[in-house]
Amino acid sequence: MSEPLLLERRGPAAWLTLNRPDKMNALNAELLAALEKALDEVAADDDVKVVVLTGAGERAFSAGFDLEAAAGDASLGQAAEQWHEHLEYDVAVTMRLWSFPKPTIAAVRGHCLAGGCELAMACDIVISGESGRFGEPEIRFGSGPVTLLMPFVLGQKRTAELLFTGDVISATDAERAGLVNHVVPDADLEATVDALVRKIAPTPLAVLRLTKLALVRASEAMGLRQAVASNLDLSAMVNAADGPEQREFWEIVRRDGLRAGLAWRDSRYGESLS
């Protein structure tokens, strides 16, 4: 079995690669644990000035949480308490990245959805290839965002539209909305990120850490952590609601596979996100 996450040091940068390309780098417990471990490792390494998070392959940065694994996890049951315990770890890892004491860059190709989009938004800077596709389509099967970062990145109005519709937007539209810093040809993505790392790296690590802490505290002063914690409680309730759309979606996934479930989900909205 390949490692779920790859760690590569490139000069002053540590590149962390979500490494489940056959599953569009979907997030499962093993991958999240590996990400958390890698963040601990590079946080303690003073030779690392910048952390870059990316996804293996061309299809996706990450398509979000592994719904196939969730469909087969009978331990979740229907209780809000069980969902809360399950989602709490997802939120904790995302927030670990958000408050990481060094600058972080998301390098995105392809689908960057749901929990994957949340990981990208948790990074300080997002550079996307032209193939980038961003969104949180969970509402389309009766769920919702796990880590509510989007209002603090995009603002209330744009977030409301994306979360109510489940729409997925292009890299160019994400750049206009403020989710992405720069869009470049896919072939230039790594070189663009490397150049950005070289601009950041000359600054002393202590200065970078304090600047990052100032940004974190500014968001906290605006209530980000309180909003994320409140959303976790509500997300557990939403997932435990057991509405007809939820039941139909999970039944199709269990019976016919995830692709069929996603096709059913999006057909209700007259489009396909595949």
**Residues contacting 264, CB < 8 A, separation 6+:** 248, 249, 252
Do the domain assignments include residue 85?
Answer: yes
Single out the catalytic residue among 68, 85, 118, 251. Answer: 118
Overall domain count for the chain: 1
Residue 274 lies in a domain: no
d(CA 149, CA 225): 9
- pLDDT at position 272, please? 53
Task: Kindly tell me if the per-residue pLDDT of 62 is higher than 90.
Answer: yes
What is the percent of the chain where pLDDT is above 90? 76
What pLDDT score does 78 carry?
A: 66
Quick check: 268 pLDDT over 50?
Answer: yes
Residue 8 annotated in active site: no
Identity of the amino acid at 103:
P
Token reading at 257? 């596979």
- The answer to whether position 241 is within a domain reads yes
The verdict on whether 248 is a catalytic residue reads no
pLDDT band at 33 (very low <50, low <70, confident <90, very high): very high
Greater model confidence, 85 or 170: 170
Q: What is the CATH number of the domain that holds 202?
A: 3.90.226.10
Residue 39 domain flag: yes
Cα gap 194→11, rounded to integer Å:
10
Residue 139: inside a domain:
yes
Partners of 6 in the β-ladder: 17
Whether 76 has a pLDDT exceeding 80, the answer reads no
Q: Is residue 273 part of a domain?
A: no
Cα 221 to Cα 199: distance, rounded to the nearest angstrom: 29
Does residue 226 lie within any of the structural domains? yes
Please answer whether residues 260 and 249 qualify as being in contact, where contact means their C-beta atoms are separated by less than 8 angstroms: no
- Owning domain of residue 154: 5-267
CA–CA separation, 249 vs 120, rounded Å?
26
Among residues 136, 138, 175, 190, which one is catalytic?
138
Considering the domain boundaries, does residue 272 fall inside one? no
Compare 238 and 68 and report the one with higher pLDDT: 238
pLDDT of residue 274: 45
